[in-house]
Chain A
Amino acid sequence: MPLTHPETELHNPQSTKPPLDPHLKALENEAIHIFREVAAEFERPVMLYSIGKDSSVLLHLARKAFYPGRVPFPLLHVNTGWKFAEMIAFRNEIVKRYDLDLIEHVNPRGAAENVTPFSHGSALYTDIMKTEALRQALDAGQYDAAFGGARRDEEASRAKERIYSFRTPDHRWDPRNQRPELWNVYNGMVRKGESVRAFPLSNWTEVDIWRYIQAEDIPIVPLYFAKKRPVVERDGMMILAEDPRLELLPGETKREEVIRFRTLGCFPLTGAIRSEATSLDDIISELETATVSERQGRAIDRDQSGSMEKKKREGYF
């Protein structure tokens, strides 16, 4: 685990750290403001926690926003059962270290019917194990606000989304009819059953995330750093070949490569990149010269233009 120093007492946990540059400071201030506003205005907030780099930053900001108090809402991890093993180990460690309330939800129907990315295809699998599962978990908790780590620079329909993104009782997003959102005055009025998704990282870019992780020394899953790992080539992606449930198809061979991941999700649907980046400095300079976007490595985003919008309309994050 790359977890560094344990949390110290109430004051001066990181007093030797140099101050953030004005760009990151402005982004941090905005995110903290959003966290506090949602926590104060809604009855039952929850934070979606996906264990990736954006979630790690989101969690760090939540801890900052409510310090010296505890984070006043639970974390929700929608598990598909197909996450990288290292992600789950990391999650458990973080929850313990920071004394967090974690709710884990797996779609019981999907589990009972044994829905897997291999047997059902990535689209249906995502539908059931992520979108439907998320709706179930949000309904069960009767949450009226859910924080997410989505950023507008990730995808064209995200670029259109408000910071408070209104959802109907069946979790639908109507992109043609979003509430106006002026200044930093957020309209948090919802009726019973309605909710908002709140996105404190809306205005962050991928580089901002990495520079902030570096500046704040935020622990992240080691899969983001390059290392020699077993992989197999499938559908034009290099996927990690560690999990015993991954069966090699005819013609496929396992091989060792020095790789890392730019985003983390379900291992069968997440492509690795060849990279020598073993430190945050390396990752940042790799990013600054990268010629492809981060969504490239994700099977579910590659289907067609507009596929993200469609999923979001149906309740996906």
Chain B
Amino acid sequence: MTAPATANAVQEDAAGQVLAFPAAETARATRDSRPLRLITCGSVDDGKSTLIGRLLWDTKAVKEDQAATLRRDSSGKQNDLGLPDFALLLDGLQAEREQGITIDVAYRYFSTDRRSFIVADTPGHEQYTRNMATGASTADLAVLLVDARVGLLEQTRRHATIATLMGIKQFVLAVNKIDLTDYDRARFEQISHEFRELALSLGVRQVTAIPLSALKGENVVYDGRASMPWYDGPTLVEVLELATTRSSQTVGFRLPVQRVSRPGESFRGYQGTVAGGSVKPGDSVVILPSGMVANVTKIVTFDLVRNAAVAGDAITLVLDRQVDVSRGDMIVAIDSQPLTGLAFDAQIVALQADGIQPGKRYWLKSGSRRQRVQVQPASQLDLKTGKWEPAEQLPMNAIGKVHLAFDEQAIFDPYEQNRTTGAFILIDPDTNNTVAGGMITAKRSALGGIHTEDARVILSLPADLADQLMATELFAARREDAEVRRVSAGKASEIIDTIDG
């Protein structure tokens, strides 16, 4: 799609009136792959929305009536160049238009001859980091914008870090507003160098740096050779066309059970979306957390009975025997099981004003499983130094490492191995709001959790005495080491009686 920017689609007269609309293009139906999901991120006003607006404009995703509305809404706010305010194609909320900023993510869709794209334009303001995280969680690629005049800011680092934590491995560094630096090559190279250092420290290896002007459309869809003869790299759209979608996950079969389908006596199926690996009739599976084993007899879908299902497929699974399976359970490959336990380590991003309070009990939802969890912050990332500092609580927008302690068995894969079964949200039971997004790093047994081989004592105590003991500091400090079940006195003596020795 390379053509000089002068042959650009928008033609305008001196008064900034759009004279010719982008010509409609015919059938572009390359749907032989999943769409690429990308986000724009970076600090306030660096030009994220303008860039996506320009991308939509130059790929002819803006229709005539929308262009007319844009022209009307831009009048009075025209920039020096007399171009429309492309950001208005994205900033669709009244409050955003009034303040000239992005508040919440906008999802937009466009395609080129080669592939289709879902783009999430995220806000730069620190206050709305939660909305940036929302966009980042599903993205395959991040376009990180930097204002060429300003360089990397703390917010740029925050966004780069969140994007990396959430598993984005491909970055485009868009050094934007290059027109305002007189197309200064040295400036571009200095910023690219600075970012590569940051990327390296975050463990990102795939970075393409592009000098561009979102407003003028240089190096977005059309190349900017006329203004930047020194740059002979790809345009943004060329990079996007060649990027890879998230590769399917390598761990074994995972099916978080969303619901049990029992339309009649003769049929019992487990419905969910395959979250990893694949499955076929005859496979042996384990139901977690119960640990029961069964074999797959059928994979049912509306269209036909299938002979295999892979990650991403929404299916109904039928097993060969009556086992107890309910919503929130996970059906997994027998030879490649996820981690189960009561204590895990995770990294989280705190998304709401109250931050994350130590010891508070939140709801944790992962896949279809929701359970109570106690969150103990351990450290917080200092964005200036890139170092983890000890922390007791996490304020809003902080990136932290935490310990999770559950009352009931939890089931996870490390996020690095599975972006679905390793991801979770925390919900504040007081407000019902989503207060954090988290990524599992490890199970805690090796790090101070429960060691199966160690000696244990099982006590049966009256509830009031147990409560007093558990209220002590000594107990609280090692809460994760203890397992507590509340049962009736009769049940307790039954259990104790069954234990040898």
B134 touches A309 (CB 8 A): no
Chain B, range 418-437, C-beta contacts under 8 Å to A: 419-420, 423-425, 427, 432-434, 437
- Tell me the bound Cα distance from A70 to B90 in angstroms: 39
- Segment at the interface with B among A8-16, A73-81, A130-138: A8-16
Indicate if B259 sits at the interface (CB-CB under 8 A): yes
Over the window 231-269 of chain B, the binary record of Cβ atoms lying under 8 Å from chain A Cβ atoms (1 yes, 0 no) is 000000000000000000000000000110111000101
Contacts of A101 in B (CB 8 A): none
Over the window 135-164 of chain A, the binary record of Cβ atoms lying under 8 Å from chain B Cβ atoms (1 yes, 0 no) is 000000000000000001101111110000
The one of B303, B314, B351, B420 that contacts A17, using a Cβ cutoff of 8 Å: B303
Question: Taking CB as reference atom, which chain B residue is nearest A10?
Answer: B267
B108 touches A293 (CB 8 A): no
A183 touches B259 (CB 8 A): no
B104 touches A160 (CB 8 A): yes
B27 touches A288 (CB 8 A): yes
- Nearest-CB distance from A239 to chain B (Å)? 18
- Tell me the bound Cα distance from A32 to B312 in angstroms: 11
Contacts of A153 in B (CB 8 A): 108-109
A202 touches B314 (CB 8 A): no
- Segment at the interface with B among A50-58, A114-122, A174-182, A246-254: A174-182
The one of A22, A159, A190, A288 that contacts B92, using a Cβ cutoff of 8 Å: A159
Contacts of A234 in B (CB 8 A): none
Chain B, range 28-83, C-beta contacts under 8 Å to A: 28-29, 31-35, 63-66, 69, 72-73
Contacts of A229 in B (CB 8 A): none
B302 touches A191 (CB 8 A): no
- Tell me the bound Cα distance from A288 to B26 in angstroms: 6
Question: Taking CB as reference atom, which chain A residue is nearest B33?
Answer: A22
B258 touches A37 (CB 8 A): yes
B434 touches A288 (CB 8 A): no
A68 touches B263 (CB 8 A): yes
Known A-B contacts A13-B303, A187-B425; the reply to A289 vs B24 at CB < 8 A is: yes
A203 touches B109 (CB 8 A): yes
Contacts of B183 in A (CB 8 A): none
Q: How many residues of chain B are within 8 Å of chain A by beta carbon?
A: 79
B93 touches A176 (CB 8 A): yes
Known A-B contacts A155-B92, A185-B424, A187-B365; the reply to A66 vs B261 at CB < 8 A is: yes
Contacts of B441 in A (CB 8 A): none
Contacts of A13 in B (CB 8 A): 302-303
Contacts of B161 in A (CB 8 A): none
A181 touches B434 (CB 8 A): yes
Contacts of A33 in B (CB 8 A): 258, 273, 314
A69 touches B263 (CB 8 A): yes
- Tell me the bound Cα distance from A305 to B34 in angstroms: 32
Contacts of A293 in B (CB 8 A): 63, 65-66
- Nearest-CB distance from B158 to chain A (Å)? 15
- Tell me the bound Cα distance from A37 to B271 in angstroms: 10
- Nearest-CB distance from A149 to chain B (Å)? 16
* Interface-centre pick from A160, A176, A203, A291 (highest chain B CB count, 10 A): A160
Chain A, range 24-83, C-beta contacts under 8 Å to B: 24-26, 28-29, 32-33, 36-37, 39-40, 63-70
Indicate if A92 sits at the interface (CB-CB under 8 A): no
- Tell me the bound Cα distance from A32 to B274 in angstroms: 12
- Nearest-CB distance from A288 to chain B (Å)? 5
Indicate if B496 sits at the interface (CB-CB under 8 A): no
A182 touches B437 (CB 8 A): yes
The one of B66, B327, B432 that contacts A187, using a Cβ cutoff of 8 Å: B432
B32 touches A22 (CB 8 A): yes
- Tell me the bound Cα distance from A66 to B267 in angstroms: 13
A32 touches B93 (CB 8 A): no
Indicate if B97 sits at the interface (CB-CB under 8 A): yes
A185 touches B92 (CB 8 A): no
- Tell me the bound Cα distance from A153 to B31 in angstroms: 18
Known A-B contacts A36-B271, A67-B316; the reply to A183 vs B301 at CB < 8 A is: no
Indicate if B112 sits at the interface (CB-CB under 8 A): no
Contacts of B72 in A (CB 8 A): 305
* Interface-centre pick from B106, B107, B432 (highest chain A CB count, 10 A): B107
Question: Taking CB as reference atom, which chain A residue is nearest B31?
Answer: A23
Indicate if A21 sits at the interface (CB-CB under 8 A): yes
Indicate if A112 sits at the interface (CB-CB under 8 A): no
- Tell me the bound Cα distance from A65 to B273 in angstroms: 11
The one of A24, A178, A183, A288 that contacts B138, using a Cβ cutoff of 8 Å: A183
Indicate if A296 sits at the interface (CB-CB under 8 A): yes
Contacts of A14 in B (CB 8 A): 302-304
Over the window 302-323 of chain B, the binary record of Cβ atoms lying under 8 Å from chain A Cβ atoms (1 yes, 0 no) is 1111000000111010000000
The one of B32, B65, B134, B312 that contacts A181, using a Cβ cutoff of 8 Å: B134
- Tell me the bound Cα distance from A17 to B302 in angstroms: 12
Contacts of A1 in B (CB 8 A): none
The one of A29, A185, A190 that contacts B367, using a Cβ cutoff of 8 Å: A185
- Nearest-CB distance from A19 to chain B (Å)? 8
Indicate if B105 sits at the interface (CB-CB under 8 A): yes
Known A-B contacts A203-B118, A305-B73; the reply to A185 vs B423 at CB < 8 A is: yes
Indicate if B406 sits at the interface (CB-CB under 8 A): no
- Nearest-CB distance from B55 to chain A (Å)? 14
The one of B31, B92, B116 that contacts A157, using a Cβ cutoff of 8 Å: B92
Over the window 186-224 of chain A, the binary record of Cβ atoms lying under 8 Å from chain B Cβ atoms (1 yes, 0 no) is 010111000000000011010000010000000000000
- Tell me the bound Cα distance from A12 to B300 in angstroms: 10
A15 touches B314 (CB 8 A): no
Indicate if B95 sits at the interface (CB-CB under 8 A): yes
The one of A29, A70, A160 that contacts B105, using a Cβ cutoff of 8 Å: A160
Interface residues of A (CB under 8 A from B): 11-15, 17, 21-26, 28-29, 32-33, 36-37, 39-40, 63-70, 152-153, 155-160, 175-176, 178-185, 187, 189-191, 202-203, 205, 211, 285, 288-293, 295-296, 305-306, 309-310
Please list the 6 inter-chain residue pairs (A to B) with the smallest Cβ-Cβ separation, ordered nearest first.
A156-B92, A23-B31, A32-B314, A69-B263, A182-B137, A64-B302
Sample of 12 A–B contacts (CB below 8 Å):
A13-B303, A14-B304, A23-B31, A36-B258, A68-B300, A157-B93, A175-B104, A178-B104, A203-B118, A290-B63, A291-B64, A305-B97
Additional A-B contact list (8), CB under 8 Å, known A160-B104, A291-B21? A26-B312, A33-B273, A37-B368, A67-B302, A180-B133, A182-B425, A183-B437, A293-B66
